[in-house]
Amino acid sequence: MIETIQWIDNRVVMIDQTRLPVEEKYVTCRTYEEVAAAIRDMTIRGAPAIGVAAAMGVALGMLHASEAGLDAQFAAICDTLAKTRPTAVNLFWALERMKRLYDSLRGQPLATIRRRLIEEALRVREEDIEICRTIGRNGAVLIPDHATVLTHCNAGALATAGYGTALGVIRAAVEAGKQVDVFADETRPFLQGARLTVWELQQDGIPTTLITDNMAGHFLKSGRIGCVVVGADRIAANGDVANKIGTYSVAVLAKENGVPFFVAAPVSTLDLSLASGDAIPIEERAPAEVTHVFGQQVAPAGATAANPAFDVTPARYISAIITENGVARAPYAESLARLANRSAMVS
Ligand code: MRU
């Protein structure tokens, strides 16, 4: 099993996702600032995984906090972590969860506060693995036997505490005895599909074909793709989904060609405070990620490049949203509100 992020000897240890698949290197964060830097530079990435990292970052920060001005230190830690990446709501969900606990512990000895925050961060991690397994079971029934499934980016074990959301659905279908082949979009510019999804699925022995992003339409039209499954970074109340840049194009092409398009995500990815996807903040990353591919220049010096890291797929392109609490279908305003208030489905 891939260990995306762990709490070891009061340190946060994560596999360096900027080095995969060339090198399996682990990074040790000793301070919350190091955790924040690891989220920002994408040493760890994927919405649920950065939520776990944020929770552990808070626990780590408070481990080194001093007795005087504890509230101000707590606020500064949360603020630093909140400013790392804006789109995945799981990060803010995790910070809010840690804050609620901290508020409930006011007046307790510092040693107790530290212990409880560490326990909570570990719980966020453990729960995430369980949630992914439940998402997998809930979604596996939607994957036909002998299907070829297209996925975009990496919504796998590396993007979560383990097992994955979109890849969790694929894994669960395979565990249920289905024959599943995967087509993985390479996912320019950061290549999460080529580097991470293919690496993960290779380890599981799930047959995977890597394609460049601009091949997706061709294969969707060819009739070879049975369905699309992707993850999500934030889902608005009306079912609009923010996910890795390029997801929207895949969804439109899927609908045009009559291929079901599924989104798999935990309930912590829902942001019902936003009426539609128009309000989801889209992270803009450095143009150098587009003009260069891992240090190799691919555009003329001085080229202007845009680099939105996410796009928003309108709900009308989405056949179903698979969560741990069940599967939502249109009209999403009602189905998502219902699922948000339900507890995890035991299938
Ligand atoms: O920029 P990233 O790599 O953090 O983006 C990741 C994605 O867009 C994933 O599809 C999403 O976070 C879901 S992960 C289970």
The CA 153 to ligand 1 mean position distance, Å, reads 7
Mean pLDDT computed over every residue of the chain = 97
Residues 14 and 152 in one domain: no
Residues 189 and 248 in one domain: yes
Amino acid at 276: S
Q: How crowded is residue 6: how many other Cβ atoms within 10 Å of its Cβ?
A: 16
Determine whether the shortest distance from the Cβ of 266 to ligand 1 is under 6 A.
no
User: Residue 115, exposed/middle/buried by CB under 10 A (0-12, 13-18, 19+)?
Assistant: middle
Q: What is the pLDDT of residues 292-310, one digit of tens each?
A: 998 899 999 999 999 999 9
Supply φ then ψ for residue 264, to 5 degrees.
-120, 125
Determine whether the shortest distance from the Cβ of 192 to ligand 1 is under 6 A.
yes
d(CA 53, CA 12) in angstroms, rounded, equals 8
Q: What is the pLDDT of residues 327-340, one digit of tens each?
A: 999 999 999 999 99
Which token pair is 246? 């390029």
d(CA 221, CA 153) in angstroms, rounded, equals 20
165 three-state secondary structure: coil
The CA 283 to ligand 1 mean position distance, Å, reads 12
Determine whether the shortest distance from the Cβ of 241 to ligand 1 is under 6 A.
no
pTM above 0.95, yes or no: yes
Determine whether the shortest distance from the Cβ of 159 to ligand 1 is under 6 A.
yes
Q: What is the pLDDT of residues 124-142, one digit of tens each?
A: 999 999 999 999 999 999 9
344 three-state secondary structure: coil
Distances (CA, A) of 168 to 48, 88, 175, 191, 231: 13, 19, 10, 20, 10
Residues 82 and 193 in one domain: no
Domain with 82, as residue range(s), is 5-132
For residue 230, the model assigns a pLDDT of 99
Return the DSSP state at 106. Answer: T
Helix axes 110-140, 47-63, angle to 10 degrees: 170
d(CA 88, CA 264) in angstroms, rounded, equals 14
Residues 19 and 96 in one domain: yes
Residues 141 and 275 in one domain: yes
Asked if pLDDT for residue 105 goes beyond 90, the answer is yes
Best probe residue, ligand 1, of 17, 93, 197, 243 (max atoms within 8 Å of C-beta): 243
Confidence of residue 343 (pLDDT cuts 50, 70, 90): confident
The CA 93 to ligand 1 mean position distance, Å, reads 16
Determine whether the shortest distance from the Cβ of 160 to ligand 1 is under 6 A.
yes
Tell which atom from ligand 1 comes closest to the C-alpha of 264.
15
Percent of the chain with pLDDT over 70: 99
Residues 280 and 166 in one domain: yes
Determine whether the shortest distance from the Cβ of 243 to ligand 1 is under 6 A.
yes
The CA 65 to ligand 1 mean position distance, Å, reads 31
Q: Which stretch of DSSP H or E encloses residue 131?
A: helix 110-140
Residues 6 or more apart whose CB falls under 8 angstroms from that of 262 comprise 139, 142, 166, 169, 227, 228, 229, 230, 318, 319, 320, 321, 322
Which token pair is 210? 């890597």
Residue whose token pair is 């599943």: 180
Classify the C-alpha dihedral 128-41-301-304 as positive or negative.
positive
Q: What is the mean pLDDT of residues 273-281?
A: 98
Residue 68 maps to which CATH number? 1.20.120.420
Residues 109 and 251 in one domain: no
Confidence of residue 118 (pLDDT cuts 50, 70, 90): very high
User: Is residue 233 annotated as a catalytic residue, yes or no?
Assistant: yes
Read out DSSP for 234-259? EEETTS-EEEETTHHHHHHHHHHTT-
Set 16, 71, 181, 233: catalytic member: 233
The CA 262 to ligand 1 mean position distance, Å, reads 15
Residues 64 and 210 in one domain: no
Supply φ then ψ for residue 64, to 5 degrees.
-105, 5
Distances (CA, A) of 227 to 30, 163, 255, 319: 42, 20, 10, 10
Q: What is the pLDDT of residues 16-32, one digit of tens each?
A: 999 999 999 999 999 99
The CA 245 to ligand 1 mean position distance, Å, reads 10
Last residue of a domain, one of 93, 108, 132: 132
Ligand 1, atom 8: closest residue by C-alpha? 244
Determine whether the shortest distance from the Cβ of 269 to ligand 1 is under 6 A.
no
Last residue of a domain, one of 69, 104, 132: 132
Q: How many separate domains does the chain show?
A: 2
Q: Which stretch of DSSP H or E encloses residue 81?
A: helix 70-82
Q: Reading across the β-sheet that carries 326-328, which strands appear in turn?
A: 208-211, 180-185, 147-151, 227-230, 261-264, 320-323, 326-328
Q: What is the pLDDT of residues 166-215, one digit of tens each?
A: 999 999 999 999 999 999 999 999 999 999 999 999 999 999 999 999 99
Residues 207 and 238 in one domain: yes
Determine whether the shortest distance from the Cβ of 15 to ligand 1 is under 6 A.
no
Ligand 1, atom 15: closest residue by C-alpha? 155
Last residue of a domain, one of 132, 148, 163: 132
Tell which atom from ligand 1 comes closest to the C-alpha of 283.
1
Distances (CA, A) of 267 to 104, 116, 165, 322: 23, 24, 11, 9
Residues 162 and 296 in one domain: yes
Confidence of residue 3 (pLDDT cuts 50, 70, 90): very high
Best probe residue, ligand 1, of 244, 245, 283 (max atoms within 8 Å of C-beta): 244
Determine whether the shortest distance from the Cβ of 232 to ligand 1 is under 6 A.
yes
Distances (CA, A) of 166 to 5, 22, 63, 93, 163: 19, 23, 34, 20, 9
Are the CB atoms for 280 and 313 separated by under 8 Å? no
For residue 294, the model assigns a pLDDT of 85
Residues 77 and 15 in one domain: yes
Asked if pLDDT for residue 347 goes beyond 50, the answer is no
Residues 160 and 309 in one domain: yes
227 three-state secondary structure: strand
Residue 155 maps to which CATH number? 3.40.50.10470
Percent of the chain with pLDDT over 90: 97
